[in-house]
Structure 1
């Protein structure tokens, strides 16, 4: 029996239990948020004096510039991570052990090293050996290395999760290993793993905030700079809230684009030839016959030429 989910459909008791757990989670989250808002109000964080700095147009212009630098780093890192992920995934799926094992070691190493450690090594470690990188490139390269390794594992898992008959059918049609990977396996794996890939890109966007530690002037860096100005009312909490709200807006916009992409990929093109006929499964004998060129076969034929 086929199912549209990857797990057993919950029964009435499980549904009721899940609803109770969901309601309890909402209550707990609402209580925590309410407590934080109450503490901010009690300590005067919502007073007009604390928000006076945000009445100046110059402040918002700087926030927009910082958001632009955040998006610039994210765009370059996202493209680079996707390219690196494809390359490493193909290496991980290679039939040659001399290529598969080193690539696997590189992927595991890059996944194990935190992004912040990579940024420190690139920004403070490379100058020791005479190589200097700007903060922008440090953020981009670190995000590419980490997220590219994660995406490589995502793509590899997507390819290996496909039924074995997909690759066997490609080989039966005379495709090479690279042709099967490029034309049969990768398109299906990417389509299946698209939600995970897009979720990882959202993580990439949020990880750009780590650039403030190496003085890359993105959103969090400017919020910290604004909040630490020498004044009687340092708006550190207010600047952080504004930066957080901008991050949330950017992530929501990216999530909206991700949902749009998923919907477009999920559309099944309609055929004008009428309803699709059920595809009959071919036996191993038929695949072997087709691959060896012993003759054409027709699974739907009733004569002796249909099967060997």
Structure 2
């Protein structure tokens, strides 16, 4: 099926009048969007938003070196550790959801349903407050300051996104043809070996774009470290805005642009990984189709 056929399989192609109406609607909607943006820019200009003096302090070399760069590094550290915890929990809980043992399956289902329903900011704040009451990390482990805040931000990100990734993994396993697992059982593999050697590699390959897309969301969720004063980008932008009151909005805009660059780079990684997967899976599919065609032709050409 060609790309054109794929794009029109669920609806009829537009005719001349339809294309004309679609073009008019696109022009009108584009003009409305540009008008709103222009109006917003005009109001900001009246307030002096674009004045160079308001951008000097947030972009000062010393501010960049002492605040923005450490904030970016702390954000990436929380993202990396949170992603690691989320992936590990997602794999464990995901396979727990498809386990043959009812208690394991039930416990995994409760985990997913409970933590997926909680707001992430509430999960981070409650765990941080509980620890502050009992003093486990500070009194027992000796952690304090940013290390303690990083711990609970990472735990919140990992626990919450682990539940999401577990559902992605469960959906990926459910989407696999059952014949592959049955073939593994037929050659004498145990249930664990089938899951580890046959199911898991295919699920990870098929679900990688969805997993990476969820990690993009996790990257943006690091901004919730603001509620426990972890020195990520949003918290650092707030400090800069507090120190330079006339540049508060400018500091937030700079933080937003940095988040955009980081999320955009990670989303490009998602697109790259998806393309790589398509290239790796396209050849086997084409070979299988060719083999099927040749076998069909050979069978059809037999002499009775």
The answer to whether structure 1 residue 85 and structure 2 residue 90 are counterparts is yes
Counterparts in 2 of 1:53 and 1:265: CA distance versus 1, 3 Å: same
2:51 to 47, 50, 57: 47
Shift of 1:173: 2.4
1:194 to 202, 208, 222: 208
Structure 2: tracts of 5 or more residues without a match = 139-147, 300-304
Shift of 1:175: 1.9
What is the distance in 2 between the residues matched to 1:257 and 1:169?
Answer: 34
The answer to whether structure 1 residue 118 and structure 2 residue 130 are counterparts is no
What is the distance in 2 between the residues matched to 1:115 and 1:166?
Answer: 37
Counterparts in 2 of 1:157 and 1:27: CA distance versus 1, 3 Å: farther
Alignment correspondent of 1:238: 250
1:205-240 C-alpha deviation (Å, 9 max, x unpaired): 0000010111101111110011012x5x52111000
Q: Secondary structure at the match of 1:216?
A: coil
Alignment correspondent of 1:214: 228
Aligned-pair Cα RMSD in Å:
3.0
What is the distance in 2 between the residues matched to 1:83 and 1:217?
Answer: 25
Is the Cα contact below 8 Å between 2:58 and 2:240 reproduced in 1? no
Counterparts in 2 of 1:105 and 1:27: CA distance versus 1, 3 Å: farther
The answer to whether structure 1 residue 249 and structure 2 residue 250 are counterparts is no
Shift of 1:115: 0.9
Structure 1: tracts of 5 or more residues without a match = 282-299, 301-308
Q: Secondary structure at the match of 1:51?
A: helix
Shift of 1:54: 3.5
Q: Secondary structure at the match of 1:235?
A: helix
Q: Secondary structure at the match of 1:277?
A: helix
Counterparts in 2 of 1:121 and 1:169: CA distance versus 1, 3 Å: same
Is the Cα contact below 8 Å between 2:209 and 2:273 reproduced in 1? no
User: What does 1:125-164 correspond to in 2, within 5 Å?
Assistant: 125-132=130-137, 134-164=148-178
Is the Cα contact below 8 Å between 2:123 and 2:156 reproduced in 1? yes
1:11-36 C-alpha deviation (Å, 9 max, x unpaired): 11498587777666655544443332
| Count of equivalent residues | 278
Q: Secondary structure at the match of 2:57?
A: helix
What is the distance in 2 between the residues matched to 1:198 and 1:132?
Answer: 31
> Which structure exhibits the higher relative contact order, with contacts defined as CA atoms closer than 8 Å and separated by 6 or more residues?
2
Counterparts in 2 of 1:180 and 1:7: CA distance versus 1, 3 Å: farther
Of 20-29 and 39-48, more deviation after overlay is shown by 20-29
What is the distance in 1 between the residues matched to 2:8 and 2:136?
Answer: 51
Alignment correspondent of 1:295: none
Counterparts in 2 of 1:127 and 1:63: CA distance versus 1, 3 Å: same
Of 34-43 and 153-162, more deviation after overlay is shown by 34-43
1:80-138 C-alpha deviation (Å, 9 max, x unpaired): 11111000001000011111011100111110111100111121122223324611111
